[in-house]
Amino acid sequence: MKAARADFWSGLALGGLGAYIIVTASRWEYLGADGPGPGFFPLWYGIAMAGLSLALVFFSLKNPNSDLIDWSGARRAFGAWAALALSVALLKIAGFAVSFAVLTFFIVAVMYRRPYWVAATVAIAAAAGFYVVFALALGVKLP
């Protein structure tokens, strides 16, 4: 019963956040002369968040005796979130390529438990791929 209550209340909280995102993004330009405006993606993100949170509330009411929280999965999710937050902080110091490579290495080596040489190869290839596509092919300067 506790898990159902947790799903219910977290669904309501996420639904409120989704509604806030929808209201805020609807004040921004949706489509401009050059294509999608700054409100395009946040609006659809808010709609998806509100819809999925409503589904969470619905299923928590439909099945009040659902399983308890899987804390091992929650630890992994919080670990991925912390790694992302650290890579964003590292972005100012080391630049995009290095911080993205470090994040990719962590996810492959720690989260997916692959050998370090595989994680290093994927991290270097992904960072190089971003550089080739954005900096060289599109002429967009990476931070």
Contact indicator for 58, 7 with CB cutoff of 8 Å: no
Query: Does a structural domain hold residue 143?
Result: no
The residue range of the domain holding 84 is 71-137
Q: Same structural domain for residues 51 and 103?
A: no
Rounded Cα distance, 110 and 115, in Å:
9
Q: Same structural domain for residues 58 and 81?
A: no
Q: Same structural domain for residues 42 and 79?
A: no
- Using the 3D structure, point to which of 33, 62, 91 is the last residue of a domain: 62
- Higher per-residue confidence, 54 vs 140: 54
Give the pLDDT score at 60: 84
* Percent of the chain residues past pLDDT 90, beyond the cut: 50
- Count how many domains the chain has: 2
Chain-centre distance for alpha carbon 58: 23
Taking only the tens place, the pLDDT of each residue in 29-70 is 888 888 788 888 899 999 999 999 999 888 888 876 665 666
Taking only the tens place, the pLDDT of each residue in 76-102 is 888 888 999 999 899 889 998 999 999
Contact indicator for 134, 142 with CB cutoff of 8 Å: yes
pTM to 2 decimals? 0.59
Model confidence band, residue 143 (pLDDT cutoffs 50, 70, 90): confident
Rounded Cα distance, 107 and 79, in Å:
9
